[in-house]
Amino acid sequence: MSEKRGRLAAYWERQLERLEEVERKRALRLPGWRTRKRRRTLSVLVVAGDLLLISGAVFFKTAPDLVFLVGWFGGSLLAGGAHYLLRILTGKMSGGFSTRLDEREREWRHRATFVSYQVLVALMVVAVFYALIVSGTEDGGGRGAMMGAALLVTGTTLAAVILGWSLPDDDPEDFQDFEEVSTR
């Protein structure tokens, strides 16, 4: 049993080292964008993309296919691209293990994930009621599924949006350690 535990601990350490290396690379990306103003702009773009995605789900099978495609795929591209950039700018707080965070970062992350979880639960309740409302219509099952998917995507992007909106400007000194390690 101790041999197995030793292998698991070694595997866990390798995973943490790999995630730390990913974070080092990510910390050097977009250095000029690491301001509150940029993160807030990206947060607004994620929310706008999510709303476009939801509107695409509303128009699924009820409007011309072009309207649905523009809403669904346009919202996916807008929200997905902005969310990707926002995760880079919020750093390890939005995607890392909490053991790698200091107390302040852990507190920010827990607040953001708690609020986003509560909103996600509320959105899933909305999805259930929407599915019940449209269940008697033609293609009601598909429409309910599309709305559920859109609201699920919206709920999963909220933690990064909250962090992006509320975090202060990054301190350039925080990234000197990463720059020194990358030049070695």
Instruction: Yes or no: say if 27 and 105 are a contact pair by the CB < 8 Å rule.
Output: no
- CA dist., res. 16 & res. 99, Å (int): 10
User: Looking up tokens 């720059």, which residue turns up?
Assistant: 179
What is Dmax (Cα atoms) for the chain?
A: 64
Query: Tens digit of pLDDT for each residue in 133-168?
Result: 999 998 899 999 999 999 999 999 999 999 999 988
3-state secondary structure 148-167: HHHHHHHHHHHHHHHHHHHC
- 151: burial class by Cβ within 10 Å (0-12, 13-18, 19+)? buried
Enumerate the H helices of the chain as residue ranges. 2-27, 36-58, 65-90, 92-95, 103-134, 140-166, 176-183
Does the global pTM surpass 0.75? Answer: yes
44-58 burial code (b ≥16 CB/10 A, e <16): ebbbebbbbbbbbbb
Q: Which amino acid is at 121?
A: V
Query: Tens digit of pLDDT for each residue in 38-63?
Result: 999 999 999 999 999 999 999 998 88
Instruction: Yes or no: say if 52 and 81 are a contact pair by the CB < 8 Å rule.
Output: no
pLDDT at position 3, please? 66
Query: Tens digit of pLDDT for each residue in 74-126?
Result: 999 999 999 999 988 887 777 666 667 778 888 888 899 899 999 999 999 99
